[in-house]
Structure formats: structure tokens, C-alpha cells
Amino acid sequence: MTFDKTEAKVVKAAFLPPALAKRLDETCTLADWDLLNETERKAAAEDARVLAVNGESIVTAEFIAQFPKLELIADFGVGYDGIDVAAAHARGIAVSNTPGVLTDDVADMAMGLLLATSRQIVEAQRFIERGDWAKGGFTWTKKVSGGKLGIAGMGRIGQAIARRAAGFEMEISYTDRQAIPGLPYTFVGDLATLAAEVDFLIMCVNGGEKTRALVDAEILKALGPEGILINIARGTVIDETALIAALDAGIIAGAGLDVFECEPDVPSALHGRPNVVVTPHMASATHATRKAMGDLVFENIAAHFSGQPLKNPVNP
């Protein structure tokens, strides 16, 4: 793929791995939004053909409107709920993302959170560090192997989690828009029923308005006092206030959360609880996967500037 560097005008408007930023700087005419003053931003926006953002970026219609010549929004991430894709498509601006390459890492992290929360691994470390072991053994914890696992959202990541959970001899059921042919797991028509039937509920649905606060007080009540909630999807899929109230009242047993409603803020009510494990939206953050994601972003941008079809277009 060849293209003219001077014509390949890119604005980087979010954190990208240094190796990707360097590659873009070497091959394109790159402007870094965060380093520009108002006048420079106006000039850069005027000419930009590609906007490079990440999976946590908020790209509103108003923001997009500042870029009159924009042709592509390249997302370093699989999630694009922060991007107003409809507004972009309405102006003929394509959107690309980085699916596939992060599936295994996110599934690994979901299992890690499930194990860490159920077996209270983080609290066990605190127990040792507090010097409490000399006073007696650690509390008994919840068994994972052979348990009932519910997966909400059976896309690539949900299916990768199910394959891992099968190794733990878990009984797996799931919700999705409809049953997925060929999957050896039990389809359940709605989330409340699924929550009521399982010991562990992992949220794998897409973010966005359709899934906002999908896990509310009713779902938490259905999950019940032995139930563990895991979220590696988007913070917005859980009503955090309802979750904190449910943890306070013992309505559920615990939660393992990699994503939050207002990142990077994690409500202090979720800190320091023995039955809650929190991580900073890091499920796909391994060296290998972040490199693969960067390569995909570059390939999409290069394809666009070379007049080739995008490798990973986000469809309307």
C-alpha cells in the first residue's frame, strides 16, 4: 500500500501506543490534538482526512463537525460506543475498529476477575500484608469449578470466555438477541431469568444506549446473595448506584469490574471491599495485543489512503 505522506493528513485525538504514533508520524502528516493550541487545532481540523482515537474516546457529532474534510475515524479498540457512528456515516465518514485481536486477552481477564473475586485473591493478599495470617486462617471462599456461568452477550468475546469456562467444567448458559446455532450452551431468552439461574454472570454486551444500565436493581436481585457479577464490557451496562446498594445490602455476593461508568473515576464505595475486585480497563492491555491493535489501526488508515477497502469497517 503506497500513499503520499503530504496528502495523508491525520489528527491523533487520543492516547495511542508510541510505536503506532511513530509509524503514523513517519508515513503520514500527523497532528497531535492534545499538543495543539486553539489556532493550530483549527488549522489541523480544517485539513484532516483521518481522525485516530481509541476505544474510550468520546467522539460526538459536534466534535466531528469541526473536521470538514474528514473521511475516516480509526478507532484503536473494538468498542466504538463513544463514537457517534451515525453522525459520521451521515456525512459519509467511515469508521474502523480493531476486532478479533483482543478477544483472547479480554476472555482471559474475565476468567481472572471471576477467579479473583470468587476466591478473594486480592483480599487474601491484603490479609497477608496486614499480618493477619498469624492470627488465624483466611476466610473460606466461593467454589468456581463446576459452577453455573451466565454470559450476557455471546459474541466473539463471550464465546472465548465460554471455551475457557468449559475447562473449569462450568455449566454455561447465555443471552443474546437469539440463540446462536451450533453452540453447545443453553440459550436463555432474557437477562433476569439468566441471572436467577446462575452463580456467576459475566457481562459481554456492546456498550451504547441500548445496553445502558442493563444490570439494574432487578437483575442484581435475581442474581442473588450467592451471585458474582463480572463486567469486562462497558461501565455503562451496569447501574453503578444500584450495584453499590446491592453490595451494601448483601443482595449479591461480589463483583469483579474492569470498566466503570465515568472512567477513570472508580466510586470510592467500590474500594477496599473483600468481595470486589477492580481493575483499570486493562482487559486487552497486553504487549502483544496492543501491538496487534496498533498494526490494525495502521493497516486501516493505510488502506484508506491507498484507495483500498478498509480491513475492519464498522457497518452502519
Residues that bind ligand DGY (CB under 6 A): 54-56, 77-79, 102, 284
Q: Considering the complex, what minimum distance in angstroms separates the CB of residue 125 from ligand DGY?
A: 26
Residue 209: active-site member? no
Give dist(CA 261, CA 93) in Å, integer: 28
Catalytic residue among 7, 40, 169, 263: 263
Closest contact distance (angstroms) between CB of 279 and ligand DGY is 12
Task: Tell me the closest approach of the beta carbon of residue 139 to ligand DGY, in angstroms.
Answer: 32
Active-site option among 23, 49, 56, 234: 234
- Of 141 and 206, which CB lies nearer to ligand DGY in the complex structure? 206
Residue 12 phi, psi dihedral angles, 5° rounding: -95, 115
Nearest distance from C-beta of residue 206 to ligand DGY, angstroms: 10
Burial of 138 (0-12, 13-18, 19+ CB in 10 A): middle
Nearest distance from residue 264's CB to ligand DGY, in Å?
12
Rg value, the chain, Cα: 22
Burial class (CB in 10 A: 0-12, 13-18, 19+), 42: exposed
Angle at 12 between CA 11 and CA 17, to 5 degrees: 150
**Is-contact 290 280, C-beta < 8 A?**
no
Decide if 263 is catalytic: yes
The Cα 53–Cα 59 span in angstroms is: 8
Choice between 185 and 298, CB closer to ligand DGY: 298
Q: Is the CB of 159 or the CB of 284 nearer to ligand DGY?
A: 284
In the complex, least distance from residue 230 CB atom to ligand DGY, rounded to whole angstroms: 15
Residue 273 or 291 with smaller CB distance to ligand DGY: 291
What dihedral do alpha carbons 18, 41, 296, 260 form, nearest 10°?
Answer: 80
Residue whose C-beta lies closest to ligand DGY? 55
Q: Where are the beta strands (DSSP E) in the chain?
A: 9-12, 29-32, 50-54, 72-76, 94-96, 148-152, 171-175, 186-187, 200-203, 228-231, 254-257, 276-278
Helix axes of 287-305 and 18-27: crossing angle, nearest 10 degrees: 20
CB 48 within 8 A of CB 33: no
- Which cell numbers in the block locate residue 66? 469541526
Q: Which residue in the list 49, 56, 261, 281 is annotated as catalytic? A: 281
**Active-site residue flag, 281:** yes
Residues in the chain: 316
- Residues facing 265 on adjacent strands: 262
Q: Which residues are catalytic?
A: 234, 263, 281
